[in-house]
Structure 1
């Protein structure tokens, strides 16, 4: 979600091995200056319980609904304000290691569970 919204990897300057450990320790990209609706969706994607996370299909539906949402709404104003902040940060290249916040600590056994994942076939509606 973070990469889709910001057009940049949230931890682009950190190698994958270090990143995996830091995420298991509860680090997350900061969500400041984002619209509350988007923060809520991102935090759902970060849920420690995979069954509580939205599926790729659900995310696609939500994002398409937002995209097609009537422009004269609070969400639209929030998104426009967020896009301005995003543009300014990208131009100033302010995405650093400081754009990280810590949530809860996860055990290493939770990291190992992710290694048991399998490939899925996702059909994205056009």
Structure 2
């Protein structure tokens, strides 16, 4: 979901090494370079929760996305007749306006992928990783996924 929304792979600008693994265990999550509707951000955050038992089941996600799709289809059919927009549609439109007016958004074409950012399956044999946790304020802060910065070299 992150790649589809941001147009970038997660952690594209840092080495995929033990420092990144430690930062993720400490609560680091990918950051968006654009405004994301809060309802979508909430789903992403729940999927990235450090505690696997807090993550939604695929069936629950499917149900949620189907509800969004039904609401969207209902809105587009009645859009010319009324201005009854769902919360998600309003958030998408608001995020779109912010993103269109923002000069800070970076295009995926201008972002350089770190030479040690590897996007293929490989085993990690890191020892001494801490117990995974969410960053402080993880559920209170809705502007982004993470409240901490990566300590690795950019």
Category of TM-score, reference length = shorter chain: 0.5 to 0.7
Q: Cα offset for 1:92?
A: 7.7
Q: Among 54, 57, 71, which residue is 1:55 paired with?
A: 57
Is contact 2:7–2:108 with CA below 8 Å preserved after alignment? no
Q: How does 1:37-116 map to 2 (within 5 A)?
A: 37-69=39-71, 70-71=74-75, 72-83=85-96, 85=99, 89-91=105-107, 108-110=129-131
The runs of at least 4 consecutive aligned structure 1 residues that moved more than 3 Å come to 90-96
- Give the deviation of 1:56 after TM superposition: 3.0
Assess if the C-alpha contact under 8 Å between 1:44 and 1:54 holds in 2.
yes
Q: How many residues align?
A: 101
Structure 2 Cα separation of the partners of residues 28 and 109 of structure 1: 15
Task: List runs of 5+ in structure 1 lacking aligned partners.
Answer: 97-106, 112-126
Q: 1 or 2, which has the higher strand percentage?
A: 1
Which residue does 2:142 correspond to in 1? none
Listed as ranges, the gaps of 5+ residues in structure 2 are 76-84, 113-127, 133-154
Flag the structure with more relative contact order, 1 or 2, with Cα contacts below 8 A and sequence separation at least 6: 2
C-alpha separation in 1, matches of 2:64 and 2:86: 16
Deviations 1:13-49 (A, max 9, x none): 2232243222112212336732221222122122221
